[in-house]
Structure 1
Amino acid sequence: MQANMAATTDSNMNISASIAGILNEEHCPEHLQVLKTFTTALRDKEYRDTVEEEAFSSLLKVLSRLCDELQAASCDNQDLQSITLQLQLTAECFRAQRNACVQSTRNQSLLRELGFIDISFKLLSLLQTTRLESRDSIFEPLRCGIQFLGNLSVGNQMCKDDIWRLSFPNLFLQLLSVDDEKAVNYASMVLHTCLDEAKVEELSDPQNIQLALRVMELCRTQPDLDWTVIIATQYFLKCSALVESMYSGMSHHERVTLLELLIAQLQEEHSRDCGIPPSVASFLASSFHTGCGAVLTLATGSASSDEVLQEALTVISLLDVLCEMTSDHRQFMFLQDHPDLLVTTVALLEQVHAIGKASKNIFSAAQNFSAFGEDGGPSSHSPVISFKAHLIRLIGNLCYGNTNNQNKVRELEGIPLILDNCNVDSNNPFISQWAIFAIRNLLEHNKQNQEQIAALERQGNADYSALRELGFLVEERDGSLLLKTVRKDS
């Protein structure tokens, strides 16, 4: 045991002396080997736990010297070979720092106290402004430096706070904009590690919102970067102030990405308590009410620009989110009492239905089932596939167990409108089922609605053949109307 301890002490002293020796000489390839030896040694937990502070102090001096040299090189025209070696040495310093912090609170704290965070940030900023013929040579030290910050911050609140103070928001924004996917992924990991509720609130301030928008842009353009999606779902969607700030500052294309993440979060298995605040639901309902008319431009062909098309697609995504929120999520059922949502939805359904019947257009019903491709989905890429069906679904959700909304739909002449959409429509898969679902919710414990459907049947104003074809029968019993399931061959 004593022999092992002595060997470890000797190794410590030899490496410390070798690192210190770098400071007294011009840089050469042998120095790179010295640093690589230190990096390799730090992979061993026993060595990592006993490495002397002196070794880190010498490493810090080497890193500071490299920072000064790279800063001078960015101003002067130094030869490429010299700069390349400086970048390699910088990367190896960062690797040693990274390895030192693995499962070692002692080393995390020690490196923080010695000043490694400040000099590392200075280098990371400098690397992004260094003028080189080949930008690729900076990516290795950039990646290693960001990985160091990640390992330094894991499980260490003081390090997290220091990193946040020095990098928020500008340096984080720079690192997330580097033209290197690995560096961006590592930076996303560091950002995720540092975040908490209070820091997310800071992101919603106007001067900081660009960082949040950059994360969302990466969710859209590089969906394989898991950390940005995790940041968005674990933190961003749970802060109503941030959601509203981001939504206001986004293009319609970016809004669709945000709404798709919301839908995925709502549909996540076992996510009945999905963490999305009720205020976010209210905001989205109001946004749907304000902007829903944009979808009508798709029928007239006036959606000539991509921006107009994206605005319409935003409305469609808003509708999908609201359908999910009002489906078996108790915390969002207060949307039934939203002052404008039901009226807006019924009015939009009426407009879309009328436009579709007036002439052949994107909202017209179709029986073109041959358009379904081999994969079972529509070969048509129409943006309004299922739009009418989802309007009816939302009306059904908002009327579930809610007498006021049942009555409101009747007063808005919504019942005949929904009955007129019971026919099979290849542009709206499952529209018949959603119409029946809505009618059921409208009739439940509501005698006035039952009486209206009975009156429509007596007057011949409603066609129930579609209901019968689907196995349902409208039946009057004791003055009330019932929606009854029957066998199709009866």
Structure 2
Amino acid sequence: MAAVSNSNQDISASIGGILNEKHRAGHLQVLKTFTAALREREYRDAVEEQAFSSLLQVLTRLSDELQAVRETSEDLQSVGLQLQLTAECFRAQRNSCVQSTRNQSLLRELGFVDVSLKLLNFLQKSHLESIDGIFEALRCGIQFLGNLAVGHQMCKDDIWELSFPNLFLELLRADDEKTVSYASMVLHTCLDEAKVEEMSKPQNIQLAFRVMELCRTQPELDWTVLIATQHFLKSSDLVENMYSGMSHHERVTLLELLFAQLREEDSEECGVPPSVARFVANSFQTGCGAVLTLATGSASSNEVLQEALTVISLLDVLCEMTSGHRQFMFLQDHPDLLMTTVELLGQVHAIGKASKNIFSAAQNFSSFSGDGDSSPVIGFKAHLIRLIGNLCHSNTNNQNKVRELEGIPLILDNCNIDSNNPFISQWAIFAIRNLLEKNLQNQELVAELERCGPADYSALRELGFLVEERDGGLLLKSVRKDS
């Protein structure tokens, strides 16, 4: 311990000496020695406050000097060393905070947060972008903020107060991938429910839009995806405000993230609130007619196509929400959702049978080879049937409603294989099973169907039902699977 104490005093004195001299390469080595020493837990736990006070003075001096730089050749020659020294100060600060609540608190109390953020703000906006070392200093400074914030609420709050929303937004727009990644990490670390609600306000929502843009354009940046899935999707206000201000292309990205979150393993309680599910259902009901334009030449513009793709994504999310997520089964009672879905299925089916178009059934299985462009409505009709089946599961009112809407014959008419709708026959079987379960009126309807040409009831046989002719009509009988 005595050796550590002596080392503390020597390094502290060396750092203090930098303040009285013109910057030179030897000062960089002093800071590197301090940075290296702080990697050791024993030294980190014993470092004296004076060493940090001296380091803060060095950082403050560097900040003042960099902000006073003029574009003269003499000044620019010194900037490179100043940026190296700045980066090394940040590295020392970063290392000091690793698994050390004591040092996090000490650096906060000494004023490192304010000085560091002012310096980062200057570096991000400065005219020094072309000088080597600018991004190294930025990266190290942001890493320091991340380490300072981990597990320390007061540090998180200080960083948020001084950085939100403008500095966060500027850093996420930086022309340097690592800077953006580290800034995303800090944002994720600082966020909580109250801060997410702040982001939903109109004057702050551009930061949320930037995060979503990064999710779309740079999906390899894991931190932005985590921000969206672990924070954004849990706020109905933010989801609704973002959605209303997004293009259809951007909405698809949001819905794809929501879909992926719902598909995560062990997501019985995925954190997505019921209000988000209601919003998705309302948005689907309001905009679902846009898909019908794909059958005509009116879908020539990219905007119209993107609007239709948004509807398709909304349907995918609704199918997933109502598949095994008990917290979303209230959607079975969502006003007019079932009626809208059955009517849309009827429209799509009728359009596909009326003429050769994008909704027509096909037997072209070569389209699944992965070569060429696939139809934007692949699986759409099958997913409509899937949603109907989900909404009717163990729900007598909805079973009856589908019968009243003449949806049962419609679904039976979709039991054939269709390459434009993979697994449509399976989803139709699933839906019919849910419609007939414990519902004698629906069973009688199927049994009493008059033959209008050859009928194929193989789908019903798969369900465990047998259709027999009797007295000029059809009788539906349950068949034991072990018989």
- Aligned with 2:66 (options 70, 83, 88): 70
Count of paired positions: 480
Deviations 1:374-394 (A, max 9, x none): xxx686521111100000000
Query: Which residue number corresponds to residue 88 of structure 2?
Result: 92
Displacement, 1:294? Answer: 1.1
In structure 2, C-alpha distance between the alignment counterparts of 1:176 and 1:256, rounded to whole Å: 21
Residue in 2 that maps onto 1:212: 208
**1:476 Cα deviation from its structure 2 partner:** 5.0
Counterpart of 1:106 (choices 102, 107, 113) is: 102
Q: Which amino acid aligns with 2:389?
A: G
- Alignment partner of 1:427 out of 420, 423, 430: 420
Alignment of 1:275 with 2:271, yes or no, is: yes
Following superposition, the deviation at residue 133 of structure 1 comes to 6.0
Q: Does the residue aligned with 1:183 lie in a helix, a strand or coil?
A: helix
> How has the CA–CA distance of structure 1 residues 157 and 74 changed in structure 2, closer, same or farther, with 3 Å as cutoff?
farther
Matches within 5 A, 1:90-489: 90-132=86-128, 134=130, 137-373=133-369, 380-456=373-449, 458-460=450-452, 463-464=455-456, 467=459, 474-475=466-467, 481-482=476-477
Q: Tell me how far 1:171 sits from its aligned partner.
A: 1.0
The CA deviation at 1:13 is 1.8
Residue 133 and residue 154 in structure 1: after superposition, are their counterparts in 2 closer, same or farther (change >3 A)?
Answer: closer
Distance in 1, Cα, partners of 2:480 & 2:175: 61
Q: CA deviation at 1:355?
A: 1.2
Q: Is the 8 A contact 1:418 1:439 kept in 2?
A: yes
Is 1:27 matched with 2:20? no
1:54 to 50, 56, 66: 50
How many angstroms apart in 2 are the aligned matches of 1:484 and 1:172?
65
* Cα distance in 1 for residues equivalent to 2:235 and 2:181: 23
Contact 2:168–2:187 (Cα < 8 Å) also in 1: yes
Query: TM-score by structure 2 length?
Result: 0.94
Question: Equivalent residue of 1:365, what SS?
Answer: coil
| Aligned equivalents of 1:385, 1:24: Cα separation in 2 | 72
Indicate the SS of the match to 1:185: helix
Alignment of 1:39-50 (within 5 A): 39-50=35-46
For residues 274 and 165 of structure 1, the distance between their equivalents in structure 2, rounded to whole angstroms, comes to 29
Question: Partners of 1:333 and 1:14 in 2: how far apart?
Answer: 67
Counterpart of 2:455 in structure 1: which amino acid?
D
Percentage of identical aligned residues: 76
CA distance 1:52–1:414, shift in 2 (3 Å): same
The one-letter amino acid of 1:290's match is T
Partner-residue secondary structure (3-state), 2:331: helix
Moved more, 298-307 or 241-250: 298-307
Secondary structure at the aligned position of 1:302 is classed as helix
Shift of 1:371: 3.0
In the aligned structure 2, how far is the partner of 1:85 from the partner of 1:234?
41
Cα pair distance change 1:291/1:76, threshold 3 Å: farther
Q: Residues 264-317 of structure 1: CA distance to partner in whole angstroms, max 9, x if unpaired?
A: 111111111111111110110000000111111211132222222111111111
Cα distance in 1 for partners of 2:478, 2:163 equals: 63
Q: What is the TM-score when the length of structure 1 is the normalising length? A: 0.93
Contact 1:74 1:130 in 2 (8 A): no
For residues 62-116 of structure 1, the C-alpha deviation after alignment (integer angstroms, 9 at most, x for no partner) is: 1111111111115766543211111111101100110111111111111111110
Contact 1:71 1:126 in 2 (8 A): yes
- The AA in structure 1 aligned to 2:425 is S
- Structure 2, unaligned stretches of length 5 or more? none
SS of equivalent to 2:267:
coil
Note closer, same or farther for the CA distance 1:356–1:378 as it changes in structure 2 (3 Å cut).
farther
Q: Quickly say closer, same or farther: Cα 1:135–1:359, change in 2 above 3 A.
A: farther
For residues 390 and 291 of structure 1, the distance between their equivalents in structure 2, rounded to whole angstroms, comes to: 16
**What SS does the aligned partner of 2:23 have?**
coil
**Distance apart, 1:421 and its partner CA:** 0.7
3-state SS of paired residue (1:475): strand
| Structure 2 Cα separation of the partners of residues 216 and 485 of structure 1 | 53
Matches of 1:462 and 1:296 in 2, distance apart?
30
Shift in alpha-carbon separation, 1:170–1:482, aligned structure 2, 3 A: farther
Corresponding letter in the other structure for 1:343 = M
In structure 2, C-alpha distance between the alignment counterparts of 1:436 and 1:461, rounded to whole Å? 21
Asked whether the 8 Å contact 2:172–2:180 carries over to 1, the reply is yes
The alignment partner of 1:39 has SS state of helix
Residues of 1 paired with 2:306 and 2:210: CA distance?
19
**What is the RMSD of the two structures over their aligned residues, measured on CA atoms?**
2.3
Query: Secondary structure, in 3 states, of the residue corresponding to 1:429?
Result: coil
SS in 2 for 1:37: helix
Structure 2 letter corresponding to 1:445: K
Q: Partners of 1:485 and 1:294 in 2: how far apart? A: 44
1:137 positional shift: 3.0
Cα deviation per residue 1:112-160 (whole Å; 9 max; x = unaligned)?
1111000100011100122136265311000000000011111111111
